[in-house]
Amino acid sequence: MGKYILFLSFLVSSASFAQKNTQTIRGSVTDKYSQTPIQGASLQILGIQKAANSDSLGKFTLSNLAPDRYDISITCAGYKTMTIPNVVVTSGKEVILDIALEETFNQLKEVVVTSSNKGGTINKLASVSARTFSMEEVNRFAGGRSDPARLVANFAGVSAPDDSRNDIVIRGNSPVGVLWRIDGMNVTNPNHFASVGTTGGAVSALNTNLLKSSDFFTSAFPAEYGNATAGVFDLGFRNGNNKKRETTLQVGVITGLEATTEGPFSKKSDASYLVGYRYALAGVAQTLGVNIGTTSTPSYQDLSFKLNSGTSKLGKFSLFGILATSTINISGGSSN
């Protein structure tokens, strides 16, 4: 019996002598909700230069730690920083930690989005289904050919049945029901190559360099617009510069050769003039003998003007007008 007791005492003494003075902390880092491993999490023991990163399986190892109490900080991009205090490390057993991190979201500063009523109309009697457009929009619209009708064909409820003409269909109504109005006066059809009884044509006779922002109605017209069943264009000429004389020359495939001039009649008054003239580029090519590759050559020209008297004792007066002509020469003949 004494032999057995002596042998057990020897084993216990040997085991105690063989224990290391350092130990290891290991474990895994996972997502708190999905339980998936997190790679690249950084584990830092606070107070000493000891750190480790989790691998592709979320596992980590902090080795060669002296027995003590440690605070461990865990950080990872996209997750809340976590600190585990008072982790007890003894020489007799490894410490195994299963760490679950919670996702975090970056909180940005408040963003306030406000809107302005871009679709407000010039006519204050308009309630619904009305839109104001500028001449800058007309000229900027791709494929618009500086034509207000081709611009509005892109609006909701409006379509163009044929790209060769600028007739527009508004909510299924016939293009014949469209009313054109310039400075308060009804205009039959301000387009080149127009047919009798229609409201459209191949090329607009309206010079956008002379027009100002205008209204377009698709329904619920104010009472002042009569004889309209589909839509209304309420256009207006702008006044010329009453302080300085200006002249503009430009060339366009559709608008052709164009000249615009404006200025004051006199430095002593606010009276001004505004005149614009356009001549088809195809007509110029035909005059110069250039073959444009077709047996029918369209030729058109228009003159637009507005004279403004300014403010006087008698009031304010203005005179405007549009003169337009168009011809197609077909194999030596012509069609007006």
Q: Where are the domains of the chain?
A: 21-101, 115-220, 237-336
pLDDT at 333: 55
Contact of 257 with 279, CB cutoff 8 Å: yes
Residue 114, amino acid: T
Please report, to the nearest 10 degrees, the dihedral formed by the alpha carbons of residues 171, 172, 175, 181 taken in order. Answer: -20
Closest to 318 measured CA to CA, from 212, 178, 190: 212
Half-sphere exposure of 193 (CA within 13 A, CB side): 18
Q: pTM for the whole thing? A: 0.63
Q: Which long-range contacts (CB under 8 A, 24 or more apart) does 266-273 make?
A: 269/310, 269/312, 270/242, 270/308, 270/310, 270/311, 271/242, 271/307, 271/308, 271/309, 271/310, 272/239, 272/240, 272/241, 272/242, 272/307, 272/308, 272/310, 273/240, 273/305, 273/306, 273/307, 273/308
Non-local (6+) Cβ contacts of 133 within 8 A are 148, 151, 152, 213, 214, 216
pLDDT at 278: 97
Class of residue 198 by CB neighbours under 10 A (exposed 0-12, middle 13-18, buried 19+): middle
- Identify the architecture of domain 21-101 in CATH: Sandwich (2.60)
pLDDT at 334: 55
pLDDT at 287: 78
Distance CA 108, CA 186 (A): 55
- pLDDT tens over the chain, length 336 residues: 444 444 444 444 444 444 558 899 999 999 999 999 999 999 999 999 899 999 999 999 999 999 999 999 999 999 999 999 999 999 888 999 999 999 988 778 899 988 766 656 888 888 788 999 999 999 999 989 999 999 999 999 999 998 999 999 999 999 999 999 999 999 999 999 999 999 999 999 999 999 999 999 999 899 999 889 999 999 999 999 999 999 999 998 888 999 999 999 998 888 999 999 999 988 888 778 887 777 788 899 999 999 999 888 888 899 999 999 999 887 655 556
